[in-house]
């Protein structure tokens, strides 16, 4: 994963720190966890997922997700277009970013999922996120994102255990 990004004039700009992380050891083997989690056009099942463009499991694949959990301060259906920006099956890691959405989270929101084998057939799941530079210092959306991400990890454990 990159530690720097190009700035507006080509100079290196530091990547912002993560705003939040959900980390949990789940009772399922790494390969099953990866098989479920890396299916960008099918997981999480809690969401309605529509393919937009690109091939599933390949960087550049874009999806539109709706029925986003976590927000209770709105009556409108929450949706976001998300683009898979990195996927590495060997390292069991993928990253995606928000494009357009109606959640109030600025485009540029970035999330990375990583799975690591633990002893006893268990898997450590780490799902980290950060907001765009304009929202990086705000904690306004952290509860919304943490709530949804925790639900996804719970669903992942159930699906990978079957």
The answer to whether residue 105 sits within a structural domain is: yes
Assess if residue 4 is contained within a domain: no
Per-residue pLDDT, 45: 83
For the segment 137-147, what is each residue's pLDDT rounded down to a tens digit?
A: 677 777 778 88
- Asked whether residue 12 is domain-assigned, the answer is no
Return the pLDDT at 74: 53
Domain membership of residue 9 (yes or no) is no
Instruction: Give dist(CA 56, CA 161) in Å, integer.
Output: 23
Question: Mean pLDDT across the chain, nearest whole number?
Answer: 84
Question: What average pLDDT does range 85-95 have in this prediction?
Answer: 98
- Structural domain contains residue 11: no
- The domain in which residue 121 lies consists of 19-161
| Residue, of 118 and 147, whose pLDDT is higher | 118
- For position 29, what pLDDT does the model report? 97
Examine residue 6 and state whether it is found in any structural domain, yes or no.
no
Q: Taking 80 as the threshold, does the pLDDT of residue 1 lie above it?
A: no
* Tally of structural domains, the chain: 1
Q: Is residue 1 one of the residues assigned to a domain?
A: no
pLDDT tens column, 32-78: 999 999 999 999 887 899 999 999 999 999 999 988 765 455 556 88
- For residue range 14-25, list pLDDT tens digits in order: 556 778 889 999
Q: Is 152's pLDDT higher than 70?
A: yes
CATH number at 61 reads: 3.30.530.20
Q: Is residue 14 part of a domain?
A: no
């Amino acid at each position: 994963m990159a530690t720097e990004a190009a700035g507006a004039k080509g100079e290196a700009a530091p990547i912002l720190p993560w705003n939040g992380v959900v980390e949990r050891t789940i009772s399922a083997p790494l390969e099953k966890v990866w098989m479920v989690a890396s299916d960008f056009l099918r997981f999480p099942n809690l969401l309605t997922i529509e393919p937009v463009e690109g091939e599933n499991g390949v960087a550049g694949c874009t999806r539109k997700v709706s029925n986003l959990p976590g927000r209770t301060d709105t009556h409108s259906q929450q949706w976001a277009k998300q683009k898979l920006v990195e996927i590495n099956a060997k390292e069991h890691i993928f990253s995606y970013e928000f494009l357009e959405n109606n959640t109030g989270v600025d485009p540029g929101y970035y999330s990375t999922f990583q799975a690591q084998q633990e002893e006893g057939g268990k898997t450590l799941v780490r799902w980290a996120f950060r907001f765009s530079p304009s929202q990086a210092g705000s904690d306004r959306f952290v509860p919304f994102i943490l709530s949804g991400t925790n639900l996804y990890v719970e669903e992942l454990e159930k699906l990978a255990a079957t």
